[in-house]
């Protein structure tokens, strides 16, 4: 076998060695699987997936990053994609279908098993940061008039189907489908076969609404040591289950997405196997705006070009002041984004955050200012220049942390994405303010600086 897993995969696919191909893919780590898929072109990916049984192909798709999973499904014919989606968990079905263009998505849904397609459509109605977008529709539910023995018989008859479920609980519903109780599997096994489920179940079980936000789900699982929680509609009908593991994964994906937005990659995860035009468009949507913001910041320097011409040493310190202030502001942004995601701070608590950040900004600003003052004195031998650059950095650090701490809250309170705009706003304002503070103070002390 080749040391390059993608060569082995395509070789086995072309030899129609289904069993050997599936065994080889199963032997790879998740990282090696993703590495191999990244090196295959579109047609080769289709060949590999088409050579595998739908169940094995579904396992491969679950092993790779979401962006790769979507690319794999897009590379397939409608029937091939539908066959694989049929055996994926409902949450994964909805996520992948959401990545397809509308005509292809509708075609795949039409080719899927009707019951699977209905579940995918239901989950597709909800964003990925609420219970409806995170839950799975594979769960065990029985009417309240059943006996324990009937439940056990049902589990035995459908053992193969239920083996793919992450079964921890059995849910009990009314004739209208409302959640009325929950059974632990331990209770099902140990209770007498003739007993009614209503005699053994835990009544009034905890549940969450289908529109419960991700932050509230995180808080719920922090407070309760459950493997999962049932999801209900407004009328109490049981429609799904949110797993603790799925909530953790959703939080991780949200944090990764926020980071990508902060650095200017808009539209989701990016891999270099994606279309060049798509990757370029996602980056340029931020960069094109940022160049205008930077021109605005540079205009401040233009206003003080005479001062800069007479004290050329200032040009050495302007980037330092800009960069250090930006770093301080980005730290504040990161803390605010994290606290918003955990729900420990609310968008209306702007003054509270400003007070907390202001104190840190003053302390850090003074320390950094003194250090830069000393650097300025050593570099030029002029104590006034050291004082100017040190004072500018100290004041701009306070401005940066105030902006970095509060802007995410202000944007969230207005329904805007704080991750997308905090970075550009912070960079532009701190640059403009840093340049203004440095050059305006230098203009006031120009005689002493130029001496």
CA–CA dist 307, 449 (Å, integer): 10
Q: State the DSSP code for 25.
A: H
pLDDT tens, residue by residue, 34-65: 888 888 888 888 888 888 888 888 888 887 77
Residues with Cβ within 8 Å of residue 353, at least 6 apart in sequence: 336, 345, 405, 406, 409
Ranges for all domains in the chain classified under CATH 1.25.60.10: 5-125
What is the reported pTM?
A: 0.59
Considering the chain, what is the average pLDDT of its residues?
84
pLDDT tens, residue by residue, 308-342: 888 888 888 999 998 999 889 988 988 888 788 76
CATH code assigned to 5-125: 1.25.60.10
Q: CB-based burial of residue 385 (10 Å sphere; 0-12 exposed, 13-18 middle, 19+ buried)?
A: buried
What is the arithmetic mean of pLDDT over 261-289? Answer: 64
Ranges for all domains in the chain classified under CATH 3.10.580.10: 140-260
pLDDT tens, residue by residue, 355-367: 999 999 999 999 9
Ranges for all domains in the chain classified under CATH 1.10.357.20: 276-450
What is the arithmetic mean of pLDDT over 70-79? Answer: 84
**Please, what CATH class does the domain formed by 140-260 belong to?**
alpha beta
How far is the CA of 53 from the CAs of 13, 49, 117, 381, in angstroms? 12, 8, 20, 75
pLDDT at residue 338, rounded to an integer: 79
What is the arithmetic mean of pLDDT over 123-149? Answer: 86
What is the arithmetic mean of pLDDT over 267-294? Answer: 68
CATH code assigned to 276-450: 1.10.357.20
């Amino acid at each position: 076998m080749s040391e390059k897993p993608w060569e082995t995969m395509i070789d086995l696919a072309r030899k129609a060695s289904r069993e050997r191909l599936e065994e080889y893919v199963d032997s790879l780590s998740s990282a090696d699987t993703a590495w191999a898929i990244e090196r295959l072109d579109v047609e080769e990916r289709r060949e590999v997936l088409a050579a595998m049984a739908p169940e094995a192909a579904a396992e491969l798709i679950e092993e790779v990053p979401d962006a790769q999973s979507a690319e794999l499904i897009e590379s397939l014919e409608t029937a091939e994609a539908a066959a694989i989606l049929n055996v994926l968990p409902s949450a994964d079905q909805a996520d992948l279908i959401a990545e397809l263009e509308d005509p292809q998505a509708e075609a795949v849904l039409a080719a899927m098993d009707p019951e699977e397609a209905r579940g995918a459509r239901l989950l597709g109605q909800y964003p990925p940061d609420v219970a409806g977008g995170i839950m799975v529709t594979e769960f065990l539910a029985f009417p309240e008039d059943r006996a324990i023995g009937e439940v056990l018989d049902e589990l035995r008859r459908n053992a193969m189907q239920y083996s793919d479920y992450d079964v921890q609980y059995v849910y009990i519903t009314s004739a209208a489908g409302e959640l009325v109780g929950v059974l632990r599997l331990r209770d099902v096994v140990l209770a007498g076969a003739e007993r009614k489920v209503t005699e053994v179940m835990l009544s009034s079980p905890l549940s969450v609404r289908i529109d419960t936000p991700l932050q509230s789900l995180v808080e719920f699982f922090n407070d309760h040591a459950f493997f999962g929680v049932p999801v209900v509609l407004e009328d109490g009908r049981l429609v799904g289950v949110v797993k603790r593991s799925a909530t953790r994964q959703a939080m991780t994906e949200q944090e990764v997405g926020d980071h990508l937005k902060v650095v200017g990659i808009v539209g989701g995860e990016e891999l270099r196997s994606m279309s060049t035009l798509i990757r370029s468009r996602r980056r340029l949507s931020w960069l094109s705006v940022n160049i205008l913001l930077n021109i605005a910041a540079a205009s401040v320097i233009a206003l003080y070009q005479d001062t800069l011409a007479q004290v050329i040493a200032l040009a050495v310190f302007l980037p330092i002041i800009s960069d250090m202030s930006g770093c301080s502001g980005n730290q504040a942004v990161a803390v605010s984004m994290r606290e918003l995601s955990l729900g420990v701070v609310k968008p209306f608590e702007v003054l509270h955050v400003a007070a907390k950040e202001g104190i840190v900004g003053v302390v850090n600003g003074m320390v950094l200012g003194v250090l830069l003052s000393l650097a300025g004195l050593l570099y030029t031998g002029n104590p006034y220049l050291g004082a100017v650059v040190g004072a500018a950095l100290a004041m701009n650090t306070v401005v940066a942390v105030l902006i970095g701490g509060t802007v995410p809250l202000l944007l969230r309170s207005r329904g805007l994405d704080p991750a997308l705009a905090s970075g550009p706003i912070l960079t532009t304002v701190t640059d403009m303010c840093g340049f203004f503070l440095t050059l305006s103070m230098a203009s006031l002390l120009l005689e002493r600086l130029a001496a």
